[in-house]
Amino acid sequence: MKENFEAVLDRCLAQIRRGEADVETCIACYPQYSPWLQGILETATFLEQAPIPEPRPEAMSRGRALLLTEVENKRSRMIASAPPWRQWLGAIRLSGQFPVPRWVGTVVVVLGFLLLSNATFATAEKSLPGEPLYPVKQAREYVRLALTFSDVDRANLRITLAERTVAEMAEMDRMGRSEEVTRLASRLAQHLAEAGRLVEAVGKTDDVQALRLRLEESAMQELVLLEETLETAPAETKVALVEVIRTSGKEYGQAP
Amino acid sequence: MWVETYVGKQKITSNGRAGEPAYEVILIARAKELDSDAWTEIYQYHYPRLYAYLYHRLGHRQLAEDMAANVFLQAFERIGSFVYRGTPLSAWLFRIARNMAADHFRRGKTTPLPLNDRDVACPESTAEEAVERAMTLEKLNLALRGLTDRQRQVLLLKFVGGLSNADVGTVMGKPEGAIKSLQHRALAALRRLLEVGKGR
C-alpha cells in the first residue's frame, strides 16, 4: 500500500511538473488515495511555486569574475609550460574558435617522426657494415622483402640486393675487413639462390625472360668482382667466396 | 543553433540547449579545455539554482552567494576528473554544494536565517507583491526548519534545485527508491508544519 502510494505520488508530481496535469486531475485519477494525496500534492505545488531567492547581480558578477580569472590563469600557465609546438596547437584549441580534435596533436607528432625517419632512411641507405645506421638499412631490406608478394618482384628485389651486397663486399675488402666479407658473401649466396629459385618458379613468360637476362647479367658482373676479390682475399675468406662464386656461376649458367 | 565538437576521437553534435545531455558533454569538454565561454555558460545557468539551494540550506544571503561562487571554483579545480556518465553536471555541482554546506556545519558555523524581503525582491514586482513574496518565503523557511536535515535536503534538491529523483539520489548518495520514500515523508511532514503555521 505504502509503496503504491509513493509510486502514484511520484507519477503525479512528474505530471504536474511537466504541466500535463494539475492537483485536481491527479486526485480524480486516484480517488482511493484522496484526501491524503491532495494534501501532499498541494504542499508540493506550494513548494514548486514558492518564490526563489535571487542572488544580487553584483554578487553573481563577482563570483563569475573570480572563476574566469582562475580559468585565464590556468590557461596561461598551461600554455607557458608547454613546448612551442604544443603552445601553438594549444592556443588554437584553447581559443575555442576551431573545433580541433585531440588526434590532430598525435598526427602532427607522427608526421614529424616520419619526416625524421625519411632522413634517417636516406642516410642509412649509404651506410656500410659496422656503422650505426647499418641495422636500419638491413631492417628496411627485410621489410621490403616481406612486403613484396609477386614472385617476379621478389626475384628483381633479390637481384638488386645481391648487387648491393657485392658493392658492400668490395668496399669491405678494400678496407681489409675480411670477417665482414665472409658474412656478406654468405648473404650474397642467399640472395642469388633465392633469385634463381624464384625465376624457376615463375615459369615461361615475357617477364621471366627479362628477369633471366637481368639475373645473368648481374651474376656475371658479380662473378668478375668476386674473382677479383678472391685473388687478394685472406685464406679464411676464400672458402666463403668460392661458395658464392659457385652459386653465381650456377645462376649465370642457367641464363638462356 | 547546432553545435559540434570533438570529445576525444568522437564528434558530438547537439541542438545547443542548456541541460540537453549531448550539449552537456560538449560543454564539459570545452570546460576541460579551459574555454572561458563554456565556464561562463555553466556559471550563468547553474549559479541561481545553487544560490537558492544554499540560501535555504545556510539561511544567510551573503554566505550563500560566496559559497555558490566557491562551488564553481572547486568544480573548476576538479573538472579534469569529471567523466560524464549520464549524470548531469547540475547533480555534480549540487553534490559539491551539499558537501561544502556540510563542512560549514561541521565546523560549527551555524547561522540564523535573516528573513529579508530584499532577498526575494523581483525588479518587476510592486511593494505589496514583494512583501507577499517575502512572507511566503518566511513561511516556507520556518516550515523547512522543522524538517529533519535529510528531509529538507531532498525537498530543496528536488523543488528548488530542479533535480530528478535519480539525480537527488546521486547527490545524497542514496538509491532512487529511498529518495521517493524520503520525498513522501518530507512532503507529509512539511504539510503538517505548514498547517501548524497557518494556525498561528
- Distance (Å, rounded) from C-alpha A3 to C-alpha B34? 46
d(CA A193, CA B50): 81
Check A78 against B137: CB less than 8 A apart. Answer: no
Evaluate whether A202 touches A196 at the Cβ level (below 8 Å): no
ipTM: 0.81
The mean predicted confidence, pLDDT, of chain B is 83
CB A53 to CB B35 under 8 A? Answer: no
Phi/psi at B86 (5° precision): 100, -20
Segment 80-109 of chain B within 8 Å of chain A by CB:
none
Q: Is A44 on the interface with B (CB under 8 A)?
A: yes
Instruction: Report CB contact under 8 Å: B9, A55.
Output: no
Q: From the CA of B117, how many Å to the nearest CA of chain A? A: 10
Q: What is the pLDDT of residue B11?
A: 62
10-residue mean pLDDT series, chain A (256 residues): 73 86 87 85 87 90 94 86 67 54 72 77 84 86 86 86 85 82 83 82 70 77 75 72 71 50
Nearest CA in chain B to A104: B9
Burial class of residue A176 in the structure, from the number of CB atoms within 10 Å of its CB (0-12 exposed, 13-18 middle, 19+ buried): exposed
Strongest mean pLDDT among A41-50, B17-26, B147-156: B147-156
Q: Which of B33, B50, B116 best tests the A interface by mutation, with the highest count of A CBs <10 A? A: B33
Looking at residue B156, what is its pLDDT?
Answer: 93
Whole-structure pTM value = 0.58
Contact (CB, 8 A) for A184 and A171:
no
- Ordered alpha helix ranges (H), A82-177: 84-95, 103-125, 134-146, 151-174
Q: What is the pLDDT of residue A30?
A: 87
**B71 pLDDT above the threshold of 50:** yes
Phi/psi of residue A150, each to 5°? Answer: -80, 140
The reply to whether A100 touches chain B by the CB within 8 Å rule is yes
Separation between Cα atoms, residue B125 and residue B151, nearest integer Å: 31
Q: Do A59 and B119 touch (CB under 8 A)?
A: no
pLDDT band at B65 (very low <50, low <70, confident <90, very high): very high
Distance between CA atoms of B82 and A157, rounded to whole angstroms? 55
Phi, psi of A131 (to 5 degrees): -90, 155
Helix (H) or strand (E) holding B12: strand B10-14
Residue B121 pLDDT exceeds 60: no
